Every structure is written in C-alpha cells, then in structure tokens.
Chain A
Amino acid sequence: MLLITGFSSVVSAQTNKKANEDTEAWRYELEVAGTGVQGTYLLKVWSYSKKPNVAIEQAKKNAVHGVIFKGFAGDQGILGKPPLTTNSNLEQEKDQWFKEFFADGGKYMKFVSLSSDGAVAAEDRMKVGKQYKIGVLVSVNVALLRKDLEEAGIIKSLSAGF
C-alpha cells in the first residue's frame, strides 16, 4: 500500500515537473477571451499535460508567464497586448527571482484567478497524442502584477528616470 502511494506521488511530481518544463519552453498558447475589467486581462490559456488537473492548474502559471514574457494576439475588436517586459533576456538575467516567483504555490498565484471556477467546456478539452490540451479561462490582474514587478526592480516603470 505504502509502495503504491509512494509510486503515485512520484508520478504526480514528475507530471508537475514536465508541466513546468513546458511553461519554460513556452509550450502553451494564450488567446484573448474578452476585455477584462480595468487592470485585468481575460485570457484563454491552452496547456498540455497527461493529467487534465495538472493542465488546469498549470494554466494559471502559463497565463502569468505569458503576460510577462510573451504577450498575446488580439481578436475581434480587442487589441493584442505586448509582454510586460521589453527585455528579451529577462528570464535568464533574473533567473533565480523567477524560479521563486513561479515555484509551485509561488507568488504568481496572487495575480491570477480561474474565471470559470476550473470548469472546462467540452470543446476546450482535447486529446493530442498521449496528452490533453486543455483550454482554461483565466483573469490576470496585470495592474497589480506590473506594480509588483516594478517595485521588485524586474521591469522599469513608465516614470523611471524622471
């Protein structure tokens, strides 16, 4: 019994690790899902994992990661947004800071919430090979996120230098 529990927790940890590797390798897609309330972005995040639950949880991390480093394209009357950083090497330069920020249960959780309480529409759950591709609606509090990154000296504020 102990052996089975131990084995399953090892498998789960490996799945989480794989999901984190996918995030770092930019293996996720962001789609604009609407105009959020002031200071927020409403996004649909497509994440990959063998376990749907892991993909849903990873969607939050991917959303924050994407808003900081990747940006997203616009769609039907809503403008796409560029990433918060204009420095293309930021993730390497502040490697340690981002490791802690994006750690499981890390500070990134403060800036993101699932918009549909984790419910995934049937058309947003796809099987791609051995993995699931899951689309989850999330809301990212970009105003708070930007302020936090500015205060930590990770990105420059608009009034920096004046």
Chain B
Amino acid sequence: MKLQIMKIALLSLMILGATTLGFSQAKKPTLMVVPSDVWCNTNGYMQTYDDQGTKVKIPDYKRAFQENSDLLAVISKINGMMAERGFPLKNMESVIKTLESERAENAILTSKTGSGVSESPMDKLKKVAKADIIIQLTWDVLKTGPKKSVRFTLQGLDAYTDKEIATAGGTGNPSFSAETAVLLEEAVADKIDNFNVGLQRHFDDLFANGREIIIRIKKFDSWKNDLETEYGGKELNVIIEDWVRANTVKNRFSNSDATENMMLFEQVRIPLYDASGNATDARGFTRGLQKLLAAPPYSIANKLTVKGLGQAVIVLGEK
C-alpha cells in the first residue's frame, strides 16, 4: 500500500514536471530584415529634412520597397530560408503597411459618445517598425571590365544592446554572364548558414547566461528628491544598484552612467524565467524594482516604460 502511494506520488510529480516543461518556453525574439542606411543612400532611397538649419537624411524604406524588386527578392529569399530553420521573420514591408492602416483607423475610431482613442506623443513615437533583432542588409554590385560580382553583408544587431550578434559577408565569384538577381540569390544561399551560426551562438549564450537588457532610471523634474537622496542611511542609487546586483544572473551588470538625475545599467543579465517559472523579459524583471520603490519605506511613485523584450525605463517621481 505504502509502495503504491509512493508510486502514485512519483507519477504525479513527473506529470507536473512535464507540464511545467511544456509551458516554460522563453520569450522568442522577433527578427526583421532592414536595408542598411548605406544601401538606401547608395540607391537613392533617402529623405532629407531641415533640422533647425542642419540637413538630415533618413532612409525612405517605403519607397525602397515599392520601387526596388531586387530588395524584395533578397528579403523574400532570406525570410524563406529562415522560416525553413523554424524562425520566420517579420516582413518590414507588411509592418509598415500595418502601422499605416492602424494610424488611419485610430484617427477615425470614435465611441458612441464621441470619444477618440487615447494616444500620447510617446505612443506615437513608438509606432515604428521594430524587432528585437534587426538583420541589416547591404549589397553592392562591383564591376571590373565586363565582370560583375556582388559584395553582400548581413549584420544581426540586437535592438537594445546595439551589439552585433551575428554577421556574414563577403564578395562572391565574379561572373561575365550571370545577372545581378542570380548573383544575389547565390549570395544569400552562401551567407545565411554562417549568419545562423552566429545567431545560434547568441541564443546559446542567452540560455546559459540570461537575456541581456538595458535599464535606465530617470526622474521627473517635478520630483523634489533625486538619486542621491538617502533612505535609511543609504543613497537611492545604491539601493537600486543593490537590487539589480541581487536579481541578475551571476550578478552580471555594469552601471555605466550615474548622476543625481539618471542611472544607466548595461549588460544586465536577467533570468529567462521568473520565480514562478513563467517566461520573463525586461518589463517583468524591472517590475520587481518598480514595486520595491513604490512600497514603503521609499514610497516613490514611478512610471515604467519598455521597449520590446530588452529595454526598460523607470522614471521616478510621478506616474
């Protein structure tokens, strides 16, 4: 009888473990191919505007997608090959279209009583095509006499830490007869596996050492205190730093900037799962700090904003 009870208990534990494992999947980063500024500039897809007397050039992605069929073919090929590896990418052209239609919908959406949709300037600013990892794409066609070759570069950039996590590039074989489209197809097929090796290395590191994020602490100027204000004999910046140290994986972070008004934590390694086993990200992680600061003895009202999986900002003083 005792043995049977033990067997049932063991089986239940195993089932519970399997269920937990089934649910505990880390938050998957999104990837998107974006033509580089250099490519847009070389091919004439730039917009120029006057920023208080300084001419500023920014890429005109919409026009690039509408006018350049080579770009479409290359992105489609990369997307296809990544989907085959179980990692479908966000399509930038579709993201831009969705943002435009959402903007139009928000402009005309009203309730029965005539209320519009709330949208702060910050909300508007955040409505841009974004992904957790940007695959920056550059190519140019090199010509030597009648021979043509393609120099092709793929760079995987972490949108939050700005680190280049994967790269593949090089100049293909020169050809007398092959068309540029064919050379480009060849370049994608040749480079994508090496790019994915870098990506795999990044993911392996993420699972071993935690997700790398950035945390910024700021203060509203209406708040009378600052980060040097003492609570129980400790400056607020030290209290925040101690919390970050205690909650990061292997205490890994660097406090790269600190003044009485702001703090910047870079290379903060956060666990992929919280204490209850749920997948977490910058928002989930920083909420712990937000709660600590809002509760007594500090009782500091604060506002938490995030950017994707990997960047969080806490502004102290008000909601």
List the interface of chain A (C-beta within 8 A of B): 35-39, 74, 76-79, 81-82, 86, 142-143, 156-162
- Which of A35, A156, A157 is within 8 Å of B186, CB to CB? A35
Q: Give the residues in chain B near A158, CB-CB below 8 Å.
A: 85-87, 196, 199-200, 203
Interface flag for B106 (CB, 8 Å): no
Closest-by-CB residue of A relative to B86 is A159
Asked if B84 and A143 make an inter-chain contact with CB atoms under 8 angstroms apart, the answer reads yes
Min distance, Cβ B135 to any Cβ of chain A, angstroms = 13
Q: Give the residues in chain B near A82, CB-CB below 8 Å.
A: 194, 197
Q: Do A77 and B28 form a contact, CB below 8 Å, given A158-B87, A158-B200, A158-B203?
A: no
CA distance A143 to B80 in the complex (A): 13
Asked if B25 and A162 make an inter-chain contact with CB atoms under 8 angstroms apart, the answer reads yes
CA distance A153 to B242 in the complex (A): 41
Interface flag for B170 (CB, 8 Å): yes
- Which of A37, A74, A86 is within 8 Å of B200, CB to CB? A86
Interface flag for B190 (CB, 8 Å): yes
Asked if B186 and A81 make an inter-chain contact with CB atoms under 8 angstroms apart, the answer reads no
Closest-by-CB residue of B relative to A142 is B193
Q: Give the residues in chain B near A156, CB-CB below 8 Å.
A: 200
Asked if B28 and A162 make an inter-chain contact with CB atoms under 8 angstroms apart, the answer reads yes
- Which of A38, A81, A159 is within 8 Å of B85, CB to CB? A159
Q: Do A78 and B173 form a contact, CB below 8 Å, given A143-B84, A161-B26?
A: yes
Interface flag for B172 (CB, 8 Å): yes
CA distance A79 to B168 in the complex (A): 9
Min distance, Cβ A93 to any Cβ of chain B, angstroms = 17
Per-residue A-contact encoding for B50-87, CB less than 8 Å = 1, 0 else: 00000000000000000000000000000001001111
Q: Do A76 and B199 form a contact, CB below 8 Å, given A35-B190, A38-B189, A158-B85?
A: no
> In the complex, which residues 147-182 of chain B have their Cβ closer than 8 Å to any Cβ of chain A?
149, 168, 170-174
CA distance A158 to B133 in the complex (A): 14
CA distance A86 to B84 in the complex (A): 20
Q: Give the residues in chain A near B200, CB-CB below 8 Å.
A: 86, 156, 158
Interface flag for B191 (CB, 8 Å): yes
CA distance A82 to B28 in the complex (A): 25
Q: Give the residues in chain A near B189, CB-CB below 8 Å.
A: 35-39
Min distance, Cβ B80 to any Cβ of chain A, angstroms = 9
Q: Do A161 and B199 form a contact, CB below 8 Å, given A38-B81, A77-B170?
A: no
Min distance, Cβ B306 to any Cβ of chain A, angstroms = 19
Min distance, Cβ B223 to any Cβ of chain A, angstroms = 39
Q: Give the residues in chain A near B186, CB-CB below 8 Å.
A: 35
Asked if A77 and B85 make an inter-chain contact with CB atoms under 8 angstroms apart, the answer reads no
Interface flag for B49 (CB, 8 Å): no
Per-residue A-contact encoding for B14-41, CB less than 8 Å = 1, 0 else: 0000000000011111000000000000
A-B CB proximity, top 6 nearest: A77-B173, A162-B28, A159-B86, A77-B172, A158-B85, A35-B186
Min distance, Cβ B151 to any Cβ of chain A, angstroms = 10
- Which of B26, B171, B191 is within 8 Å of A162, CB to CB? B26
Asked if A76 and B28 make an inter-chain contact with CB atoms under 8 angstroms apart, the answer reads no
CA distance A76 to B190 in the complex (A): 12
